Amino acid sequence: MICEELGDTKFCILVDEAVDAGGKEKMSIVLRFVDRQGFIRERFFKIVSVPDTTSLTLKSEIVKVLSMFNLHVRNMRGQGYDGASNMSGIWNGLQAMFLAECPSAYYVHCFTHRLQLALNGAAKGVHDLCRFFSTLLLVVNFVDSSAKRKGALKAARDDEIQDLIALNTLQTGTGSNQTCTLQRPASTRWSSHFHSIKSLIELFGSTVTTLYHIMDTASLPIQGEASGILRALRTFEFVFCLIMMDKVMKVTEVLCQALQ
């Protein structure tokens, strides 16, 4: 159906690779084109398992997929990737290989990825924010690394929700007050940091309760670790950065979504 919609017109490819839950390399291929009505369409086309992520392997697999559906490289008019050297390299990168075969297939480094790299780089240049994100990751990893701790967090959150509902300080209704967990941020995805911050703000009280519970019931080494994390979590500097970055990243999230 996608090929029928595309016809024999020009198109762009958007490609990214990632490791799945089984540890296998996967490459996703998206086609971007203008349909017969003049509207820009982006269609998720295929996921391909690849033995490695060298530019030669990726090009070979992409050409194989396109050939399978009678799509010709000569009709390619754009390439959208991240900035990794195997994708963007001007000599041996994937974009250079396709450009050599089709000079009109111009490469564009994903704008959202560029924005996220810039924001991450800027944040790392501010020492207070660098410490804040390190502490944030420490809190999430500590609580999320154990099913028992995640269960304690869920129980603490359920009790907190019941108390807030009893005090009429929490709205109720279909879909409200869903149980959530702390979100782990990814190093290059600025949006994931925003989701991590939002989840900790929502679960801040429950997280503190969980850490106190761990300090009372866990082994001595774990008690000491929980105590140190709780102390860092409750400092003025951490809470200030948590609230400030929530406000800042509400703005950058809108920009990320628009670029996406």
The answer, yes or no, to whether residue 229 has pLDDT greater than 80, is: yes
Q: Can you tell me the distance from the alpha carbon of 105 to that of 134, in angstroms, rounded to the nearest whole number?
A: 40
| C-alpha torsion sign, points 6, 7, 10, 14 | positive
Confidence class for position 172, pLDDT limits 50, 70, 90? low
% the chain with pLDDT above 90 = 67
What is the pLDDT averaged over residues 215-243? Answer: 95
Q: What is the reported pLDDT for 200?
A: 95
What is the pLDDT averaged over residues 67-76? Answer: 93
Confidence class for position 190, pLDDT limits 50, 70, 90? confident
User: Length of the chain, please?
Assistant: 260
pLDDT in tens, 22-55: 888 999 999 999 988 899 999 999 999 999 999 9
pLDDT in tens, 133-165: 999 999 999 998 889 999 999 999 888 888 887
Q: What is the reported pLDDT for 109?
A: 92
Helices (H), 102-217: 111-124, 127-144, 147-166, 190-202, 204-217
| C-alpha torsion sign, points 97, 55, 46, 257 | negative
Q: What is the reported pLDDT for 162?
A: 84
Q: Which domains does the chain have, with CATH numbers?
A: 2-109 (3.30.420.40), 115-259 (no CATH)
Confidence class for position 234, pLDDT limits 50, 70, 90? very high
Report which of residues 137 and 179 the model is more confident about: 137
CB atoms within 10 A of CB 189: 15
- Of 9, 11, 2, 8, residue with least CA distance to 98: 11
Q: What is the reported pLDDT for 173?
A: 59
Q: What is the reported pLDDT for 185?
A: 85
Task: Decide: 83 and 114 in contact? Cβ < 8 Å.
Answer: yes
Q: Can you tell me the distance from the alpha carbon of 25 to that of 17, in angstroms, rounded to the nearest whole number?
A: 7
The answer, yes or no, to whether residue 177 has pLDDT greater than 70, is: no
Joined together, the tokens standing for residue 102 give 């089709």
Tell me the average pLDDT of the chain.
90
The answer, yes or no, to whether residue 87 has pLDDT greater than 90, is: yes
- Of 78, 132, 105, 118, residue with least CA distance to 240: 132
pLDDT in tens, 244-257: 999 999 998 998 88
Q: What is the reported pLDDT for 171?
A: 64
What is the pLDDT averaged over residues 65-75? Answer: 93
Joined together, the tokens standing for residue 154 give 């869920």
What is the pLDDT averaged over residues 105-120? Answer: 88
- Of 189, 194, 202, 207, residue with least CA distance to 246: 194
The amino acid at 70: N
Q: What is the reported pLDDT for 43?
A: 96
The answer, yes or no, to whether residue 222 has pLDDT greater than 80, is: yes
Q: Can you tell me the distance from the alpha carbon of 141 to that of 185, in angstroms, rounded to the nearest whole number?
A: 10
